Amino acid sequence: LSNMYPDWQPITADNFLECLENGALLCHHANNVNDAARKMNSLSTLTDCKFRTGARPQTFNARDNVSQFIKWARRIAGVREVLMFESDDLILRKNEKNFLLCLLEIARFGARFGVSVPAIINLE
């Protein structure tokens, strides 16, 4: 993600969850996947995620951003329920594993439209 979005805060292994916990970068990425799908004329009627860029972590706006991303992941990306996470899994760190599994599934979805993916997805 850090290479894909250099204008955002640099993402490292140490600050990964902190950079994503307000949901803004997640929604931004979802919208980029939508744009890539539109360019391929695969899915023309996609709904973009509406989000607040400056949402502070653990606030209502941050939760709303994460909720918008979750809705997008279910409806547009078709992430199966077993791979989904809940807002608290990210915001309160209740289930980081589910959050990461969902992100990997989103990467697989984006790969179909030429979106850059983590090396682990390329190895599959």
What does the alpha-carbon distance between residue 22 and residue 52 come to, in Å, rounded to a whole number?
9
- Asked whether 76 and 49 are in contact (CB, 8 A), the reply is no
Tens of pLDDT along 59-74? 999 999 999 999 999 9
What does the alpha-carbon distance between residue 38 and residue 45 come to, in Å, rounded to a whole number?
8
**Does pTM top 0.85 for this prediction?**
yes
DSSP 73: H
Element (H, E) at 39: helix 24-39
> By three-state DSSP, how is residue 14 classified?
coil
What does the alpha-carbon distance between residue 78 and residue 20 come to, in Å, rounded to a whole number?
21
Tens of pLDDT along 61-118? 999 999 999 999 999 999 999 999 999 999 999 999 999 999 999 999 999 999 998 8
Give the residue carrying structure tokens 């973009």.
48
CA end-to-end span of the chain: 19
> By three-state DSSP, how is residue 67 classified?
helix
pLDDT at 3: 78
